[in-house]
Structure 1
Amino acid sequence: MSRRSGRPLGFAEALDLPLSVDLYTAARAFGICPATAYKLIRLGTFPCPVLRVGGRYRIPTAYLLRTLGIEERPVYAVPLEVDAALANQPPDVQTHTTEVPA
């Protein structure tokens, strides 16, 4: 990956993407430079479907994630570390924010 393409896209960052992304972001996700991404589009070999919207390329995030092998998005109400810490506390220490003291 060249210096111009920036740092690779992380897993957590990939899960926070909007419905579609620009070509630069998709290139980061695949770990390639944007010039290579444009070349792959011209050759018709970009790894996932690409939409042309006006003069710009957009890549649907669902296709991008599927191509990267991310089939499902995990859904957690709280971060796992916080949930695990609460689960390890004794029952009398756990409090709920919805409880009203008597």
Structure 2
Amino acid sequence: MATIEMSRDELLGLPVTVDVVVAGRALGFGRTVAYELVKRGQFPVRVLRLGSKFRVSRADLLRYLGEADEQSGSEAA
């Protein structure tokens, strides 16, 4: 299954945290690659482990991608 890229509007509309699959999609790769990078400790942004689940902060994701986080008022440096 091909990875479908995320539009800027979708990216800016993400909730405060997203799962690794959604974060991977925003970064341009699929589920398998996303989990492999998490497993190796090489996911491009900070990954939070909550029990058996992994979450990525929208703010961290937007910062990495160089996008302003309009909902929190922060902007990439």
Q: Normalised by the shorter chain, which TM-score bucket? A: 0.7 to 0.9
Secondary structure of 2:55 counterpart:
strand
Deviation at 1:45, TM superposition (A): 1.0
- Please give the alpha-carbon distance, in whole angstroms, between the structure 2 residues aligned to 1:11 and 1:34: 20
1:62 maps to amino acid: A
Count of aligned pairs: 71
User: Pairwise mapping of residues 42-81 of structure 1 onto structure 2 (< 5 A)?
Assistant: 42-73=39-70
SS of aligned partner of 1:12: helix
Percent pairwise identity: 38
Counterpart code for 2:66: G
What TM-score does the superposition give when structure 2 sets the normalisation length? Answer: 0.82
Partner of 1:100: none
Which residue identity is paired with 1:15?
A: L
Bigger relative contact order (CA 8 A; separation at least 6): 2
- Consecutive unaligned residues of structure 1, counting only runs of 5 or more, are 75-102
What is the root-mean-square deviation in Å for CA atoms of aligned residues? Answer: 1.5
Task: Give the match for residue 35 of structure 1.
Answer: 32
**Alignment gaps of 5+ in structure 2:** 72-77
Q: Report the CA distance between 1:72 and its aligned residue.
A: 4.2
The CA distance in 2 between the partners of 1:58 and 1:72, in whole Å, is 17
Aligned pairs for 1:5-16 (under 5 A) are 5=3, 7-16=4-13
TM-score (norm. length: structure 1): 0.64
Q: In the alignment, which residue of structure 1 is the partner of 2:75? A: none
Query: Match of 2:74?
Result: none
Please identify the structure whose Cα radius of gyration is greater: 1
